Structure 1
Amino acid sequence: MPFVKSLLLLPFAVCLGHAGLLPRQNDQSAQNAATSLKLLYQNNLNASDDNNHVSFILTDPTSQNAASQACAGIGQSLLTAATAQNFSGDLALSLNYESFAGRTSPDQQFWIDGASIAVSNQSFTVEQQKLSGSQLPALCSNNANASEPQNSTATPSNSLSLQAGTNTYQGYFNKKSFRFLGIRYAEQPPGFEHSQLYRAENEVINATSYGDQCLQSGGGSEDCFFLNIQTPYVPKAGSQANLRPVMFWIHGGGFTGGTGADPLSDRSNLASREDIVVVTINYRLSALGFLAIPGTNITGNYGIGDQVTALQ
């Protein structure tokens, strides 16, 4: 019963303050080495209407000459004036929200292909002349057409690579969010033991597909210690500016079933609509997660322990 499951989820949906994925400042291979990346999509939560809307990627202020390079760095190009005009409602609403949130000024101009653009409500002013020496945010295209979990896959054109600590994480994006899936948070513990935080260093981690769900009646694996991150914002390497709140989402299922990776648990709509970072997790279920035998070292609550490890 989806309604009952939603009620079970409410106590676990907690905000953890501001957080972000912060690459090493000296890693020039990361696509956010020189700029933050904000995915803009006017999400009306109507999946049947997704094909009628486009999303955009906004960079930090840069010179006009460097704006196209900033877009090319993520496999995109500067937005054309025709696309801006054809999807003026989407663009205006998204940029007005950025202004409302205090991240741009109300009269902010943005670089597009061969020009700059200013947005006021749903009216546009396009400046064809070069603004000598100006540093403006660039509006890049987002050619990823996929918008739902069942059709979102990583390809060379929508890949995204960034650093967190000493590791490189390879994810991707669709219309609605930057996606980093199947990130290991713990090694599989031996037998009935509590999980320990995964502390890999200097690894390249493929975060483009979900990890196995935890063992349950519908299948799964005992090695299921994975979490998933969906975010509309990736900060510039080393930056603490404009970081978003994090929602840590623990799936329901009565501690006997469920996964942080099923389509109904895909949180791209939540990340996009609410402008937050969403983390979903797997944790051990049924006997593997909660068996306790008095008088032995099998003390139970391993599934709750996994949730704590994932929070760490």
Structure 2
Amino acid sequence: MLSALLLLLCSSLGSVRASTSTTVGSDLWMLLHNDLDWPTTSEHDTTILISARSHADALASCAKIGEDLTPTNGTFFKSDIQDTLAYLSFQSDASRTQRYWVGGSSTHNNGLCPVVSTSGISTAACTENLPAFCANSAPNRVSNQTDLSEKWRVTVQSEDLSITGTRDHISFRFLGIPYANEPARWTYSSVYTGPPNISALTFGDRCAQVGAGAGADENCLFLNIFTPFLPVASTPSSALKPVMFWIHGGAFTGGEGSDAVYDGGSLVSRGDVVVVTINYRLGALGFLALDDGVTNGNFGLADQITALNWVHEHIASFGGDPSRVTIFGQSAGAGSVRALLGSPPAIGLFAGAIAQSNLAGFAFASTYSEYFTIEQEVAVAAGAFIDEVGCGSGETLECLRALPWQTLQNAPDAPKFLVVDGKFLVRDRLSVDGQGPAASNAHVIFGWMADDGVDFAGSFPGSGTTQAASIEGIPIAANLTTLVLNSDLFPRPSTGNDTLDIFNVTGRVATDGEFLCLDQATAHSSVLHNVFKSMWTYQFDRSYGGFEPIPGICDPPATPTHPFGDPSLPYFQCHSGELNFMFGNLGQASLPFRDEHDLPFSQVTVDVWASFARTFNPNPSPAFLAARGFAGTAAALAQWGLWQDARSTEAPVRVLDWPSRGSAWMEGNQCDLLGFPLNFYEN
């Protein structure tokens, strides 16, 4: 409840003095040439563009956000001005010869004031009406270290809500916004209608979850907005930015949208998009279903839809285009994306979707893509759960509501499964066969890590572990283990490290059987039946860290020349290993660049993800890259060729690495052997 109290105590803070686009009388567009080289980010000055006015009025307007006009002796004019001017011309109606007010006195003996254009710095009559570059002196900070000084605060008015956030060096940040009224246990959430003055300076509590201590609570339905653009009411919708709506993973039992890995600032400032990250109810509080006709489950999934509805209602006030929302998520977040693609209440709330490492296939992996009926969920989990927490007799729901959330969430069989409830999910799988509800107007990407299943393959083999026991630990049936061992499709390496050689086979079987095969089959069937407007697939062959329950297997070996690991040497590309690349947050103290390719690969990845959000095509246009000055990405993509969509007969899968390449459908014979062929969803 701490975050709720802070929200009430702070609701009026900053709302009086904080700047707004309305008080400035202009859109506020933060512009930074972000090359994602975190150690040098602060060396690139940020500017905030405001609309046309006289030089004196420009000075006064910049002062309203606590700034002066951008000085001409800063790094902005040494390295980034031409790229900024080119992008403004590309992105708006600005002429290539457009002039902008920059730092200087409002009174000159000759009545001239400094301006900048593609021709360089010159002067114009101080009375002319020209757009202006205000400075942005807010400091550079990593996630969770936001400078809360009043000077950086900014307020957005959206309908009856007044929301005060802040800015840093790379984006405007609105953290811990309640998107829903706090729901009673096992009731569905509704869009927030509480007190209108909201302090959005710090993250809200994460949702109650397994093993959580301080900072977790049942009152947790918050979202965070990172944006480069704050419009005025008269701003045309064509100026609004694409929205990327992030759904975190964590097995439906853990995680939070405020995780530092998901900080949206870098993706926002380089991609010129709006990023939203959310919390949603987890574990038993989010997914309990009972056969009582009332408790129908999917409360966490419904929270995601509530958050999407809040975004549709309010995101334009934060510079986002509600008609260009892309949902994207990883692991359980990808399972959520998959579910939302077939959820009738969600269809129409997004135009793009990216599912990163959607589980499907063996054992528990199947539950992310094949949904239980409520009766099956009770048999598999809820029945045992009720007994474990001591509510097996009497009024079950009344008993459960009286228990501490810690008791519920930490029970061994706490439910965590999506179910067919008849409203949010009406079929036991996503209808990529054309036989049920699907978001037919959406553009979609499905992808996986090269070794996604390694950390889901059971315990790392010991010295006496046989290959059969290792494979069965996934777990798969004994007869399937025999087929795998008698086949030459999963050959065992011979490196001299017997334990690791055994695990290499197990990891590959787990990756195919829990990720690759059925994600490919999903894409293939959706293309065959024209389910979505477009479909793209990828495999990530380069990773950084990731989910690592088996310590030490997800990092490349360190060498004298590569003390943080050499990615050119063999290592497992593990689950979650793409996240630091696609959020662009490498280079910080705890995330050092390992070699000369980590930084440019992250640049390419951010540019590709943002391109999909803008155009629903992961191939950034050469004109956009040129206007932004992203020469490195442009050169790499020109050399590697286009990412072809899943309709391609030659290269339906994009292998994301340095360099990237196209590939045919992967592991076909292996998927057939495991029982997950390419046509799995076609009948």
Taking the aligned partners of 1:218 and 1:75, their CA distance within structure 2 comes to 43
1:83 aligns with 2:81: no
1:132 and 1:198 map into 2 onto residues whose CA distance is 47
Mapped to 2, the partners of 1:285 and 1:275 lie a distance apart of: 31
- Provide the residue aligned with 1:216 in structure 2: 209
User: Residue 249 of structure 2 is aligned with which of 252, 262, 269?
Assistant: 252
SS in 2 for 1:66: helix
2:165 pairs with 1:171: yes
Q: State the secondary structure of the residue aligned to 1:151.
A: coil
The RMSD of aligned alpha carbons is 2.0
1:95 offset after TM fit, Å? 2.4
Q: Which amino acid aligns with 2:273?
A: I
More strand by share: 1
TM-score, with structure 2 as normaliser = 0.39
Q: 1:117 aligns with which of 111, 115, 133?
A: 115
Question: Retained in 2: the 8 A contact 1:153–1:208?
Answer: no
Q: Secondary structure at the match of 1:81?
A: coil
1:177-256 equivalences under 5 Å are 177-200=171-194, 203-219=196-212, 220-241=216-237, 242-256=239-253
Q: Which letter does structure 2 place at the counterpart of 1:223?
A: N
CA distance in structure 1 between the partners assigned to 2:44 and 2:19 by the alignment? 29
Matches of 1:152 and 1:93, distance apart in 2: 28
> Any conservation in 1 of the 2:286–2:300 contact (CA below 8 Å)?
yes
Larger deviation: 292-301 or 165-174?
Answer: 292-301
**Partners of 2:78 and 2:220 in 1: how far apart?**
44
Question: Percent of pairs identical after alignment?
Answer: 38
Return the letter of the residue paired with 2:139. N
The alpha carbon displacement at 1:54 in A equals 1.4
TM-score (norm 1): 0.84
Q: Structure 1, residues 204-251: CA drift from partner, whole Å, max 9, x if none?
A: 210111100011124211110101111000012343351111111111
* Mapped partners of 1:170, 1:233: distance in 2: 15
- Alignment correspondent of 2:273: 276
Distance 1:145 1:30 in 2: 17
Distance 1:132 1:295 in 2: 73
Q: Shift of the alpha carbon at 1:53?
A: 1.4
Answer yes or no: is 1:263 the counterpart of 2:260: yes
Which structure 1 segments of 5+ residues have no match? 1-26
Task: In structure 1, give the amino acid aligned to 2:133.
Answer: L
Paired with 1:69 and 1:79, the residues of 2 have a C-alpha distance of: 13
Structure showing greater Rg: 2
CA apart distance, 1:311: 0.6
Cα drift, residue 158 of structure 1: 0.9
Report the equivalent of 2:328. none
Q: Could you tell me how far 1:145 is from its partner in structure 2?
A: 1.7
For 2:93 and 2:242, locate their aligned partners in 1 and report how far apart those are by CA, in whole Å: 15
User: Which runs of structure 2 are paired with 1:1-12 in the superposition (5 Å)?
Assistant: none
- 8 Å CA contact 1:107–1:118 kept in 2: the answer is no
Whole-angstrom distance in 1 between the partners of 2:120 and 2:299: 58
- After superposition, where does 1:43-62 map in structure 2 within 5 Å? 43-62=34-53
Task: Name the counterpart of 2:91.
Answer: 101
Q: How does 1:33-72 map to 2 (within 5 A)?
A: 33=22, 34-72=25-63
Q: CA distance change for structure 1 residues 218 and 91 in 2, over 3 Å: closer, same or farther?
A: farther
2:142 pairs with 1:148:
yes
1:306 is the counterpart of 2:303? yes
* 1:109 to partner: Cα distance: 0.6
Q: Deviations over 1:86-130 (max 9, x none)?
A: 64322222222111112422111110122333332xxx52224x4
User: In structure 1, how many angstroms separate the alpha carbons of the residues matched to 2:133 and 2:249?
Assistant: 39
Amino acid at match of 2:244: M
| 2:670 aligned residue | none
1:74 CA drift (Å): 0.6
1:36–1:237: 8 Å Cα contact kept in structure 2? no
Q: 1:49, 1:29 → 2: CA distance? A: 29
Structure 1 residues 29 and 142, CA gap change in structure 2 (3 angstroms): closer
Residue 266 of structure 1: how far off its partner (Å): 1.0
Q: 1:168 to 1:177 in 2, by over 3 A?
A: same
Report the counterpart of residue 16 of structure 1 in structure 2. none
Partners in 1 of 2:51 and 2:17 — Cα distance?
16
Write out the 4+ residue segments of structure 1 that deviate beyond 6 Å after TM superposition. Answer: none
Residue 223 of structure 1: SS of its match in structure 2? coil
Partner residue, 2:632: none
SS in 2 for 1:180: strand
Work out which structure has the larger RCO, using CA pairs closer than 8 Å and 6 or more positions apart in sequence. 1
- Structure 1 distance, partners of 2:208, 2:18, is 37
Secondary structure at 2:207 match in 1: coil
Q: Give distance in 2, aligned partners of 1:228 and 1:103.
A: 31
Higher normalized helix content (fraction of residues): 2
